[in-house]
Amino acid sequence: MKSNIRALYFLPYVLWILLFVVVPILLIIYYSFFNIEGTFSFENYEKFFTPVYLKMALSSFWYAFLITAFSLLIAYPTALLLTKTKHKQLWLLLIILPMWINLLLKAYAFLGIFGTYGIANHFLELIGVGAKQILFTDFSFVFVSVYIFVPFMILPIFNALEKLNPTLVDAAKDLGASPWITFRRVIFPLTLDGVKSGCQAVFIPALSLFMITRLIAGNRVITLGTAIEQHFLVTQNWGMGATIAVFLILAMVIIMFLTGNRK
């Protein structure tokens, strides 16, 4: 009886996995072995292990790491403070709301805000710092990326905080722990799962950003996503694009393994 019901809810999900995950992965791996002329070859993989692509991979990882770190730094306090407000669900929805406005539009808005004659520079001039080159820098790239990913980090942390047993915090306080120690020893460890899913939901997509690398960073930042987009859309070298995708998938598997549950 039990296994019948389990099969019921196993089925749609496994079906989805087979059709939309396993089959596309197989297709991608299949394509990665074909070079631009359509013949079977390993040259895509050879190309990947050259300095150009390895540098690109390193760069992608570095930026993804930065973005994840900053998102966490900003998201955690936000989530924490949100749980203490009166209409927390409302505020949470309001945090997600901006994500429903098209990304390209928001990027254009940032181009205007961070432009040489934009609002940000006007503000900087007002406070006496003077206009700076904000666009096409590492700073603006990380800033806008964090802007996009922060809600993805806030949600799981918020959920984790909500389920935290408040008596544990009270107990810590009773035992004389300062707020910082309470946070470090009680709250944070207990919400670690939320932090982990947040990091996964941010780090992994951040590896393949390409719209923002062009719009905000002016291609001064190159990620693996830039290369993939170029190969799939411009060169029509699906083989090479697929090869890079294979490595992205491998990277994801490794990260998941490293941050997975070890219970």
Interface residue with another protein, options 73, 93, 129, 168 (CB under 8 A): 93
Residue 168 engages another protein in binding (rule: CB under 8 A): no
Closer residue to another protein (CB): 178 or 235: 235
SS3 call for 115 = coil
Q: Is 2 in the site for another protein (CB under 8 A)?
A: yes
Site for another protein in 109-128 (CB under 8 A): 109-113, 115-119
Spatial separation of the C-alpha atoms in residues 148 and 151, rounded to whole Å = 7
Name the one range near another protein by CB under 8 A: 65-73, 124-132, 160-168, 181-189. Answer: 160-168
Q: Which of 59, 56, 29 is nearest to 44 (CA)?
A: 29
Rule CB under 8 A: which of 194-223 touch another protein? 194, 197, 200-201, 204-205, 207-208, 210, 214-215, 217-222
Name which of 175 and 261 has its Cβ closer to another protein. Answer: 261
Dihedrals phi, psi of 131, to nearest 5 degrees? -65, 140
135 contributes a contact to another protein by CB under 8 A: yes
The one-letter amino acid code at 113 reads: I
190, 176 in Cβ contact below 8 A?
A: no
Helix (H, G, I), strand (E, B) or coil at 116: coil
Amino acid at residue number 95: I
* Residue selected from 169, 177, 183, 229 as contacting another protein according to rule CB under 8 A: 229
Instruction: Please pick, from the candidates 39, 87, 125, 189, the single residue that binds another protein as defined by CB under 8 A.
Output: 87
Distance CA 227, CA 234 (A): 10
Taking CB under 8 A as the rule, does residue 16 contact another protein?
Answer: yes
Q: Which residues of 200-218 are buried (b: 16+ CB within 10 A; e: fewer)?
A: bbbbbbbbbbbebbbbbbe
Tokens encoding 248 = 């992205």
**Residues 26-55 close enough to bind another protein by CB under 8 A:** 27-28, 36-37, 52, 55
